[in-house]
């Protein structure tokens, strides 16, 4: 019996090409599925807790806190946030005991979340016993979205006013000098801000904050 003939170079090449094409098709299909994942539509400034131990900061200060890992965040944030960083500054509390000011930033996966159709690229949260400042960083210039987002925060402000009573000047848009930003009061201590990001003119910051 004759031994089997070795495969011809052309048949080997064809088999290799078929295998390579199959691998490429699988990888392309997987990438397409990942890209097709719909973005999460956010509603309001409802940030996840980015700082671990914030409830224990009074009396202990900075040693009580650390940045949370993305995998530890609530759903759906754990699939949206890629990194969380935090800076802590020691200060005295109103009772004279150790306290702290925390500033946390969460970086979002590109295209993973939108607010009113505008991509959200980062979350920022600054807090202490005397203030709280929650921010969405939007991937659009202020001039491009001021009208749309202004109407959005007006509606949000009015819904809060209906639920919690009103204060003088509540939900009246106050435009900053030069038309680069606006503010709407939501309470005696704070309100909603929309302004260009001071770190990037192609981005806009939507913030809800209060301070004593």
Mean residue pLDDT across the chain: 84
Q: How many CA atoms lie within 13 A of 101 on its CB side?
A: 10
Cβ partners under 8 Å of residue 140, min gap 6:
118, 119, 202, 203, 204
Q: What is residue 170's DSSP assignment? A: B
User: Do 128 and 101 touch, CB atoms closer than 8 A?
Assistant: yes
Measured from the Cβ of residue 170, the count of other Cβ atoms closer than 10 Å reads 18
pTM of the model as a whole:
0.78
What average pLDDT does the segment 12-29 reach? 48
What pLDDT is stored for residue 13 in this prediction? 44
Going from N- to C-terminal start, the domains of the chain cover: 43-110, 140-212
Q: What is the pLDDT of residues 157-205, one digit of tens each?
A: 888 776 555 677 888 889 887 778 999 988 888 899 999 999 999 999 9
Q: Look at 7 and 77; give whichever has higher pLDDT.
A: 77
Q: What is residue 132's DSSP assignment? A: E
């Amino acid at each position: 019996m004759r031994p089997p003939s070795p495969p011809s170079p052309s048949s080997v090449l064809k088999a290799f090409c078929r295998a390579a094409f199959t691998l490429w098709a699988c990888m392309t299909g997987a990438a397409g599925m990942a890209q097709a994942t719909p973005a999460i539509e956010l509603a309001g400034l409802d940030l996840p807790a980015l700082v671990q131990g914030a409830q224990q900061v009074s009396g202990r200060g900075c040693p009580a806190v650390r940045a949370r890992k993305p995998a530890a965040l609530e759903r759906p944030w754990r699939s949206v946030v890629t990194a969380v960083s935090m800076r802590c500054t020691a200060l005295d509390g109103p009772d004279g005991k150790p306290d702290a000011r925390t500033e946390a930033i969460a970086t979002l996966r590109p295209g993973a979340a939108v607010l009113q159709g505008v991509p959200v690229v980062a979350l920022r949260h600054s807090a202490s016993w005397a203030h709280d400042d929650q921010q969405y960083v939007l991937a659009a210039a202020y001039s491009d979205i001021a009208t749309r987002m202004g109407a959005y925060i007006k509606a949000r402000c009015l819904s809060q006013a209906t639920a919690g009573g009103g204060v003088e000047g509540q939900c009246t848009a106050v435009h900053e000098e030069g038309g680069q930003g606006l503010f709407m009061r939501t309470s005696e201590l704070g309100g909603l801000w929309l302004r260009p990001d001071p770190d990037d003119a192609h981005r806009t910051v939507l913030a809800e904050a209060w301070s004593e």
